A and B are shown apart, each in its own frame.
Chain A
């Protein structure tokens, strides 16, 4: 039903090895701590980038997320997967940041267009197909940044982070049925934005 999923957005540990690494890290093993840091920080950065749209802001959020991640590592249940927990930390930090920006009445930086990477595993048969795919990827990315954050986060978790509905429900602390309805609304908003962009009007749809 769904197409083949390319490799995840960041280098993640396999579940059994992840649990073992977490247990060792909780005991203070330096190698395990470093391995966990390497694996998690890229995931935190990519997710923050997808939510915020700007690499400098995303790096700040990811750094904060790693501090919080390691501060609470001792309390984490190693039998649970790390990723939803990590993404939840990032998502909450992004929300707090948005709230601070609203209070200070300051604007976030404009989403960056140069964060997409178009290399080497693009196996499309001809250059024209490749070019049109890249164009669509860039357009979807650009339109994603224009939809409301509440819808953007669910779309990112499903379509960019490849989380199941159950994992999204845990990450956002909402019922599974709400995940499906919110995701559908998000996809419709994105579709509308893409159509609008293609027709040349380019107005935002924040509601």
Chain B
């Protein structure tokens, strides 16, 4: 058996024919071709056998104990989101207050600039990463993964 249909025939139609996905005209074309082509008849038989083997295969499944609890939705999700927002506001306010206290309490000018210089660098680095992430999120081809 050769590896191709000897006639100039669009072989991809064979799969459409096996799956019943062709238009009436295309199906008729395949039927007419099959009358004369032993190669394509053999190919159809072989592909159908493989397809039936795949279709009838059953798989073991994990039992219920192996699954995580269903992810939370609705109220609990909203509560969690609100909790995060409140926690972030609290952390920012606390850090601001601590810095303000430090600025007021420290007499040494060099000490003030060292601490604030370091913190400013960290904030700038954080902002640059955040901006990168936002830009990636806008252009990421997988952003519709959940849709």
Interface centre among B50, B57, B66 (most CB of A within 10 A): B57
Chain B contacts for A73, CB-based, 8 A: 73
Question: Are A92 and B145 also in contact (CB < 8 A) when A28-B73, A66-B70, A159-B54 are?
Answer: yes
Chain B 1-24: CB-based contact to A (< 8 A → 1; otherwise 0) = 000000000011111111111000
Nearest A residue (CB) for B66: A59
Query: A146 near B: Cβ within 8 Å?
Result: no
Query: B132 near A: Cβ within 8 Å?
Result: no
Are A72 and B11 touching (Cβ within 8 A)? no
Q: How far is the CA of A207 from the CA of B117 in the complex (A)?
A: 54
Q: Which residues of A contact B (CB under 8 A)?
A: 1-3, 5-6, 9-10, 25, 28, 33-34, 37, 41-42, 45-46, 49-50, 55, 59, 63, 66-75, 85, 88-89, 92-93, 95-96, 114-119, 121, 133, 136-137, 139-141, 144, 155, 158-160, 162, 164-165, 180-181, 183-185, 187, 190-191, 194
Nearest A residue (CB) for B73: A70
Are A63 and B68 touching (Cβ within 8 A)? yes
Which residues 106-147 in B have Cβ within 8 Å of A in the complex? 142, 145-147
Determine which of A85, A96, A162, A187 lies in contact with B15 in the assembled complex, contact meaning CB atoms within 8 Å. A187
Nearest B residue (CB) for A91: B145
Chain A contacts for B32, CB-based, 8 A: none
**Smallest CB separation, B16 vs chain A (Å):** 5
Q: How far is the CA of A10 from the CA of B70 in the complex (A)?
A: 18
Q: Which residues of B contact A (CB under 8 A)?
A: 11-21, 46-62, 66-68, 70-71, 73-75, 142, 145-147
Nearest B residue (CB) for A46: B59
Chain B contacts for A114, CB-based, 8 A: 60
Chain A contacts for B14, CB-based, 8 A: 184
Q: How far is the CA of A36 from the CA of B45 in the complex (A)?
A: 39
**Smallest CB separation, B55 vs chain A (Å):** 6
17 cross-chain CB contacts under 8 A: A2-B20, A3-B48, A10-B61, A33-B73, A45-B61, A45-B62, A49-B59, A66-B68, A73-B73, A75-B146, A92-B142, A165-B19, A180-B16, A184-B14, A187-B50, A190-B50, A191-B47
